[in-house]
Structure 1
Amino acid sequence: MRFTTLFKSMRILATRLTSKTCTRQFNDISFEDISDISPTVIKRALNSHKLSYEEGHTCFLINCPVCQRKAKSLSNPKLFINKKTGAFQCPSCMSFGQWNSLESYVSTKRSKTAGKPTLTSNLEVVSQYLKNIENTTIPLSNFSEGDFVKICKEFQLPDVSYSLLQHISIRIDLAHTNLYFPLENALSTTVGYRILHKKQNGQITPKVEPLVECEGVLAGKSTKVKDTAVVVPNLSDFLILLNQRLSNYIVCLPNGLINLPQYILPSLERFSKLILWFGNDLNSWDSARSFAKKLNEKRCLFVRPTENQLLPHDAVERDFKAIVAAAKPIWHKSITTFSSLREDILSDLQNIDKVHGVKWKRFPTLTRILKGHRKGELTVITGPTGSGKTTFISEYSLDLAIQGVNTLWGSFEIRNVRLAKTMLQQMVGLPLDKNLEKFDTFADEFEKLPMYYMTFHGQQAVKVVMEVLFLMNFLTIIKKS
């Protein structure tokens, strides 16, 4: 089966519902850059190179060959290999890359010849960044309790105890416009910061720095239960739960519900149980299920999205310990009962007005008929050549992308340059050739959209295209429509 005739009259648009605050670069997705990998292939290769490994929840762990080559370390730093993609990283030397790079590296481990392959490392970039932050910021613990309360109010954070600073090292810049929350890797080493930036108008915007492939999570430490973590999407919930002194670790995801980068998975590998507390709207509930697949469903529980179990910042008077204790498993065996489903049914009924999906702003009639874009729906657009199918679906997808919906385009007849130019013109509503002086401004805004393009053109085997779709679904958690 080939795609040429199939896509003559049909366009398949793949998108994934995310937060409306999504900011993301658009990229061409090249199949050559994606490894065709599986856990079996990885294990077979490790065995062939006589490398012992441990199998974790989401990664294989081996002694880092880079650290071993640089020095004879007794600590044997571990290198983490993602089971599904083969992407690897070492939290010690911060080497990272794709599976083919690692396999090439370990195959020459005993070679004495020159020209050995090297692996990319973020160690220098991260070290320089952290040094700069240390030199230009001050720990919040240096301030008085009164100043601490004032700073929390300025950054629209909840009212928490000053003693909380004993559990997390928060920093602030000299101008009091940026608040820095440390992101830790699998070694509990700071590798970056989740930053709250205060604009002149008082608006608070979050961001993560530095943007490298050795990311970490914001973790509040526990002295009691060390193998369980409550995972939340935002700083307010993180601080409130940390302030409650629960027996579990409290973890805040660096990008909220926008996406779950594969490079933070090693930071969560130590936990045998993850309790996902994402909120009671459809997007949060859907994200909990999607993220759980990436985190290993068997160790994931979630706080069910009912009216009585809101996010901590929406229900500060609730018994958080009881809510966490009542978390239910996401993963179920093949057979279930109504008693296991009744809470899901209740959540559906309580959120009936939220299951309509993302509403198109440019096509109100379409929204009235279809009730918005929803996960799991296939939309088929048919018509003769020249009737405007591509033009329509282009603006259809642009409308959703502007609202933060991750979008993957697979156009097998029209090249990406022409397609992106059409979308850019639809976004600005002006003829580009007559507004060339504004091109950079328009392009900068378009680059912020969560838009991806496959580089396929013309005939392609179904298997090849589906492999790209499946991997992109894992990497960015895209919704298919």
Structure 2
Amino acid sequence: MTMFRKAVVNEDDFPIVAVAERSDLRKRDMNEIWDQSLPVSHMSQPKLTRLKQLLYLRHITDGTLNRFNVRAISSLDGLIFPRYTVTMEMMGPQVRPNGLKICRLVETINMTTIADEIMPSGNAFHGMSGYHLVRQADSEIVVTLNEADAMAIYQASSKLAIVLPEIAGQFNIDLFLPYLEEFGKVIVWFPPEKHNRAKQLSKRLLSSQCYLISPKTSNNLRAAETLSIPGKGRELVNGVIRHGEVIAHKYVDTLPMLRDAVRSYVFGFDRQNVGLVQWKRFSLLNNYLKGFRMGEVTLLTGPYGCGKKTFLCEYALDLCDQNVSTLWCGLEMPSTQIVATMIEQYARDTFHKDISRQQSFDYWYDQLSQLPIYFSRFTGFTKLKSLVEVIEYHASAQDIQHVVIDNALLITEQGQKSVFTELKRLALARHLHITAIVHPRQEFEDGVSVPSSLQGSLEGAYEADNILRISTHMNKRQSYEMEKYFQIWKNRNVGELLLGYAIEMHFDPLSKCHSLTNVYLELMHSESMAYRLVASAKQM
């Protein structure tokens, strides 16, 4: 007896053929479902009402459903949302869909839910709901992620609205771009929980083309939810669309994008303007500089011998004592002498050549050692590249926030790059503050003055955010005593300037400490001319 066995064909042996056959079968099924579909009006009112509730369609009219070609499946227990890649303008009013989204009502004993099915396949792109309404003359479109929102927008504003579908659970932007690039304006209104996808899409569109509706603008509501607000849904939908924020180039801001930052600046809420810390030893500076800020470059200048280095030691010590991690780059004076000055300023006492004070010295040196301050070993002329490498290393290793350079004119650079341009870049890139001593190109006869041109008088003046100057003045009325004043020549970001006026500055030679007195002295150049205090200007 001859035995015959029924052949079993494994589709994996013919994958391309099997997939093609399945695809054709699903497409035939889809066409059959569409051909057998019925107008929504054929559904029973209770089922239609329940479907509308579950699909956020309660406020969508029959006219809008018809415009989107929404139909009922033949069993009358579900709705069909057709998807298109071609338009009625191209193919005529009987244009057939390329895909279907079928939403069936599933009723159990305890609940009623919706079962979704994508035909012919959920793993491929088969068009977008609402796309059939596109006309060649249309220059504006609103994109959403679901049918209810697209129809709500269309119904409230008469604006063209389409649905960008998920493909196999993924949001593939490349599939939609060819369809969106033809529009001059694309408004993106996604559900609040999908706002990240909206931002992803906006980055791929032209900056002048894309308008993004943020959760804040939409009050954390979808378009369908906004439309359902009693009495004013239509008005609110249009208002949200009008306030969509244009997505500019990554290096360009729009006025709506700047609103919160400007509000913070104007009303003083922004900590960046207030500063990381406030000065304690020199609290008067807070009235003008408002605080010590990151990302800035400050220059300290003044005539030779006026005490710039000694003041800067205490200035840095004040910040370091508030846990501002500091790197001192002393190119002009050995670190030994700098620390010797700092310890006396920290103790507010002197130890100079007094052997009996060694125990007190050790105590205060131990206290000083607790502060986060480091000293570079560079001396004399130093290459810019070498200095930057050290600063960048310590910015990462010790989280340096303040870099002090004495004297910046000892930094050498052979190329075309400006030393101060590089220091400004470093301050911004590493989010730190650089304070540098710079000697002026020229001295002023009266010791206290206002330069007619900062750029011409001081190296690095253009790049600097702040310029502080110690002035000296010989008081001929009081036994030719040398008086010191403190001026603020530049204060780019916040605060005030002290130009023709100055703060009186007192120096204690024993402790090497300074104090700033809240007395403003008008600095006269002649009997007929005096520079006035410029109080509210920001020098740009």
User: TM range, normalised to the smaller chain?
Assistant: 0.3 to 0.5
Instruction: Give the TM-score, by structure 2 length.
Output: 0.36
**Greater percentage in strand:** 2
Instruction: Give the TM-score, by structure 1 length.
Output: 0.40
- Taking CA–CA contacts closer than 8 Å with sequence separation of 6 or more, which of the two structures ends up with the larger relative contact order? 1
